[in-house]
Chains A and B, each alone.
Chain A
Amino acid sequence: MITGIPQSGGFRWTYRAYVTLFFIYLALPLVTVCVFAFNDSVFPSLPWEGFTWAWFFGTDAPYIGVFHERGILRSVVTSGIVAFWVALLSVFVGTCNAFLFVRHDFRGKGFLYILMLLPLIIPGIILGISILVFSSSVANYLEDATGLWFDGLRPGLILVVLGQFSFITTFATLVISARLQKIDPSLEEAALNLGATRWGAVRAVTLPFLYPAMAAAGVVAVLMSFENFNTTLMLVGSDAPLTITMFDRLKLGSTPVLNAVSLLLIVASAILGLASLLLQKRTE
């Protein structure tokens, strides 16, 4: 913090006002969404018709709350299943990648590292269409060749999981590598000197040291998977995850039930986000 610099009072106040305005700008859309979740009106807009919990717990049409709205509940479950598999796969592959890039030297390492980072600079929608095009041609080829059906390669949850996994793994790799670089190699050597096998030393010493980072990567993966839209949009089949369902409703115009879902999402993602930060802090 810089203290020793004279600044005119006017400048300081303008600067503070600007920062305040900025944070109002950041908060405004989220606060608005949350406030209108409690409006006793079938449209998420003014005028304010009074306070209600109906958009959470209501059972009578048109006041059907989130907890009684089948379509939304089903898509939350779908999103949960997708997020679970994405997190599991990306943390597993991310951990392998971390060991590979941190512990091994080999020819072409720099090139593979750049390749590993590429998913970050490919727009999500292009990742989606490329996987869609590729898997469909593989499915066509296999179906022509064998006469069997390969539904897993057609738009649907498997492709959604693979599509999200394809770029979330990069994040998992970066988070876990950062932690692995910090471990003191003498700890593992001590275990080896004490007669542990290589794998035994990794399991007893290194992996426990990595758990917080793996957990953080998992939480980040769940968050990113839940909110992903672009890649998912191109790969989705008949079972729509939450963001897709919400998008369809939004285009048609919807009741404040969407605000209620959004409020729950905001709370859940804030909690998950803080959890990932705390986990990563423990790794430092």
Chain B
Amino acid sequence: MPVTDRSRLTFYLLLAPLLLWLVTLIILPHVGMFLVSLREKVGVREYETGFANYAVFFNEPLYWNTFARTAYMSIAATVLTLLIGFPIAYYIAKLTRGRTKTTLFLMCLIPFWVSELVRTFGWMILLRETGVFSNVLQWAGLADAPVEMLYNDAAIMVGLVYTSMLFMVVPLVTTLDSLDDSLIEAGYDLGASGFAILREIVIPHAMPGIVSGCIVVFMLSLGNYLTPILLGGKDSLWFTGLIYSQFITRFNWELGSAFGFLLLGLSSTIVFIGLKLSRQSLGRTMAQ
């Protein structure tokens, strides 16, 4: 295509919305947030530049324990989601076909079109003291009094795994679908055990799907607010909860911005490490 003035004009017209969007809604806000996080309040409407807000974070055990707790709970949720989801993805990709396959896949998708709020609400009705599980246990004679299953770490975990499941199952099904069945059959013909086939053929082939699934699930868990707050209660100690309270309840935007940046840093670091370990590019991972 010859570079004419008109095609150059088209190019700039197409570039303008992209730049407008990225600069005003993504880049400048994050730069601005970083600058605010460097602001120390020394008096009314008086500020100095420095790392005091970050120092507050490292000097206050509550803050940084919450940070660490959010990180390892998210890692646990990611691992659990992978362990639970992998057999399901394998079943859908390799052991069903035609209409059954489509139906099972749709059944995985539907819960995730529904608002996270509704899903969490469902778990609240199931788990709370007057809830369904508690009543079933009493009716079955396994408990004498109402059992409170809400407001603990296990409840948070159930909710996180539930919320993230789709983002693990879809990339896994996609990569497993592309694995040639004859490879697995050849493995069997050559006398390999089921476990050896899983380790030598299936998992290496599914690695891109595993990595992108894990990255997305980890990010979603880390940045989740609804599930920990509603299922974990007031003492859920989730980092997003701290950010919210600094911003909305305490009105301390400087500290809140610093917290936001730390969370962003953690999440980007993990994504980066995941991509490096698996030698994949962001574009390919996200496209799955």
A residues near B, CB below 8 A? Answer: 1-2, 4-7, 15, 18-19, 22-23, 25-33, 36, 43-47, 92-93, 96-97, 99-100, 104, 106, 112-127, 129-135, 137, 162-163, 165-166, 169, 174, 198, 223, 226-227, 229-230, 233-234, 243, 246-247, 250-251, 258-259, 262, 265-266, 269-270, 272-274, 277
CB neighbours (8 Å) of B10 from chain A are: 198
B226 touches A229 (CB 8 A): yes
B121 touches A118 (CB 8 A): no
Cross-chain pairs A/B with CB under 8 angstroms, 8 sampled: A23-B104, A27-B111, A45-B125, A113-B283, A125-B223, A126-B260, A230-B223, A230-B224
- Please indicate which of the listed interface residues A129, A169, A227 has the most CB atoms of chain B within 10 Å of its own CB: A129
CB neighbours (8 Å) of A1 from chain B are: 94-97, 181
Q: In the bound complex, what is the Cα–Cα distance between A112 and B119 (angstroms)?
A: 36
Min C-beta distance of B132 to chain A, whole Å: 6
Which one, B29, B122, B194, contacts A133 given CB within 8 A? B29
* B162-199 near A? 1/0 per residue, CB < 8 Å: 10010000000000000001001100100000100000
Min C-beta distance of B151 to chain A, whole Å: 13
Which one, B13, B118, B184, B287, contacts A30 given CB within 8 A? B118
* B1-34 near A? 1/0 per residue, CB < 8 Å: 0000011001101110110011001111110110
Which one, B91, B123, B125, contacts A36 given CB within 8 A? B125
Given A15-B87, A262-B121, A104-B107 contact (CB < 8 Å): no
Q: In the bound complex, what is the Cα–Cα distance between A137 and B11 (angstroms)?
A: 32
CB neighbours (8 Å) of B219 from chain A are: 121, 123
B256 at the interface (CB under 8 A from A): yes
CB neighbours (8 Å) of B185 from chain A are: 2, 4-5
Q: Which residue of A lies closest to B221 (CB)?
A: A123
CB neighbours (8 Å) of A32 from chain B are: 122, 125-126, 132
B residues near A, CB below 8 A? Answer: 6-7, 10-11, 13-15, 17-18, 21-22, 25-30, 32-33, 36, 84, 87-88, 91, 94-97, 104, 106-111, 113-119, 121-126, 128, 130-132, 135, 162, 165, 181, 184-185, 188, 194, 219, 222-226, 230, 240, 243-244, 247-248, 253, 256-257, 260, 263-264, 267-268, 271, 282-283, 286-287
CB neighbours (8 Å) of B117 from chain A are: 227, 229, 243, 246-247, 250
Which one, A96, A117, A174, A223, contacts B18 given CB within 8 A? A96
CB neighbours (8 Å) of B118 from chain A are: 30, 33, 262, 265-266
B95 touches A2 (CB 8 A): yes
Which one, A28, A113, A251, A273, contacts B122 given CB within 8 A? A28
Q: Which residue of A lies closest to B184 (CB)?
A: A2
Min C-beta distance of A92 to chain B, whole Å: 7
CB neighbours (8 Å) of B181 from chain A are: 1-2
A243 touches B14 (CB 8 A): no
B21 touches A166 (CB 8 A): yes
CB neighbours (8 Å) of B84 from chain A are: 22
Given A123-B267, A137-B36, A269-B17 contact (CB < 8 Å): no
A121 touches B267 (CB 8 A): yes
Min C-beta distance of B266 to chain A, whole Å: 10
Given A117-B282, A250-B117, A131-B25 contact (CB < 8 Å): yes
Q: In the bound complex, what is the Cα–Cα distance between A120 and B288 (angstroms)?
A: 13
Q: Which residue of B lies closest to A178 (CB)?
A: B287
Which one, B104, B225, B268, contacts A230 given CB within 8 A? B225
Min C-beta distance of A49 to chain B, whole Å: 13
A96 touches B263 (CB 8 A): no
Given A32-B132, A96-B17, A234-B247 contact (CB < 8 Å): yes
CB neighbours (8 Å) of A273 from chain B are: 109-110, 113
Q: In the bound complex, what is the Cα–Cα distance between A112 and B222 (angstroms)?
A: 26
Given A25-B162, A104-B11, A134-B32, A114-B282 contact (CB < 8 Å): yes
A29 touches B17 (CB 8 A): no
B162 touches A97 (CB 8 A): no
CB neighbours (8 Å) of A133 from chain B are: 29, 32-33, 36, 253, 257
B121 touches A250 (CB 8 A): yes
Q: In the bound complex, what is the Cα–Cα distance between A277 and B11 (angstroms)?
A: 31
